[in-house]
Amino acid sequence: MNGPATHADLYQAARRSIPRFLFDYVQGGSFDELTLARNRAALEAVKLRQRVLTAIGDIDMSTALFGQTLAMPFMLAPIGMAGMLSRRGEVQAVRAARAQGVPFILSTASVCAIDEVSATGIPFWFQLYMAKDRGFVIDLLGRAKDAGCPVLVMTVDLPLPGPRYRDQRSGLSGPASLWGQWIRWRSIFAHPGWAVNVGLRGRPHALGNVAPLMNGRVRLKDFLRWSGQNFDPSVSWKDLEFLRAHWPGPMVIKGILDVEDAKIAADIGAEGIVVSNHGGRQLDGAPGTAQALPDIAAAVGDRLTVLADGGVQGGLDIIRMLGLGAKGVLAGRAWAYALAAGGEAGVAAMLSRVAAELRTGMALTGCKTIGDIGPQVLAES
């Protein structure tokens, strides 16, 4: 039987492969999940303009971002606890990304620490949350530099974690109770393959990068508690000057949804921004990123590199985002489902599918190169 072919297939395969509390963690949003739904709806509302007989010949999907040549303008977005979706999952994902010629962005809240991922010898980008302990932040940046990370992605839209009620219902978060433990263990026993491959053979189950801050291991269910206690809600634009003093390479600010914030990011000298609402996991009721992107790109696109995420499932979504003004696109849930369903091979297959969809979409919109993709690929409403 053939493996998962589409994003919807991967969604279902992941749902079957991992415990419910992990699937809900990946899939869920905050509050009433309005923005989670809005991200996808906003992308689907973007119509593409079909062109024919354009004699495009060979299509070149490569692009250059922050001094790197990528096989396509696509990146694996940072995902906390991805190492629980498949055994040592971040290591598997970085290998798949390298094989397909795209960047992998390691989360601060990864299971596999920077050192473990860098032991693969594969360069990766690093995503940072600002913690209250600035000494810890400096140490983390030093480890990222030593690992050869070429780009720092600073996430700024999580001063406090948004309420994620799916996680409470599934037993991942909320007050400790016998009922919550029963819900988790029942889900684990229902997925024996995961229990053996990840639960037993995938240890240690810790947030590798933040364990030193917690004076030891950080258990999976403690992630939201840790973030609430250690992320710094007082962080401001001035703190990015602090980062500049300790990070010499390109810095990308992730979590921009407002034109004025985008202008400030350009003013302080950031090399890039990610138009993002944290996958609908923070401020519910915020616009979908495809809605916010055009105005932001028009305001600062000539001053820094504009990237975007939110609801991205395949190659046509890359064309939509580039047509709206982005220069590159990130996706999180797409590779998380693929990792849960098939490990490294699953992520590689997902990336191959995205590339094939992008190539076909470029042919049918009359674009020979990535640079050809602009507003002209979008059809009027």
Mean pLDDT calculated for residue range 131-153:
93
The 10s digit of each residue's pLDDT in 14-24 is 999 999 999 99
Percentage of residues of the chain with pLDDT beyond 70: 94
Return all residues near 236 (Cβ < 8 A) that are at least 6 apart.
Answer: none
pLDDT (tens digit per residue) in 281-329: 999 999 999 999 999 999 999 999 999 999 999 999 999 999 999 999 9
pLDDT of residue 1: 40
254: helix, coil or strand? strand
* Amino acid identity at 293: L
Q: Which of 7, 191, 246, 278 is catalytic?
A: 278
| 116-125, 159-168, 366-375: least confidently modelled range | 159-168
The 8 Å CB, 24+ separation contacts for 194-198 are: 194/17, 194/18, 194/19, 197/86, 197/87, 198/84, 198/85, 198/86, 198/87
Fold designation for 7-368: TIM Barrel (3.20.20)
Taking only the tens place, the pLDDT of each residue in 334-381 is 999 999 999 999 999 999 999 999 999 999 999 999 999 999 999 986
What is the pLDDT at residue 126? 98
Domain ranges within the chain, ordered by starting residue: 7-368
pTM given for the model: 0.95
Query: Nearest CA to 25 among 345, 333, 309?
Result: 333
Query: Does the annotation count 7 as an active-site position?
Result: no
> What percentage of residues in the chain have a pLDDT greater than 90?
77
Closest CA to 104 of 114, 112, 96: 96
Residue 334: name the closest of 62, 3, 88, 75 by CA.
75
The CA distance from 147 to 124, in Å, is 9
Q: Is the pLDDT of residue 221 over 70?
A: no
Q: pLDDT confidence of 132, banded at 50, 70, 90? A: confident
Q: Give the angle 327-121-95 at the CA atoms, nearest 5°.
A: 60
Q: Say if residue 215's pLDDT is above 70.
A: no
Q: What integer best gives the mean pLDDT of the chain?
A: 92
pLDDT at residue 218 in the model = 53
Per-residue confidence band for 3, with pLDDT thresholds at 50, 70 and 90: confident
Averaged over 77-86, what is the pLDDT? 96
Q: Which of 47, 54, 43 is nearest to 378 (CA)?
A: 47
- Determine the residue type at 325: G
pLDDT at 239: 87
- Check if the beta carbon of residue 76 is closer than 8 Å to that of residue 321: no
pLDDT in tens, 191-203: 999 999 999 999 9
Residue 190 DSSP one-character state: T
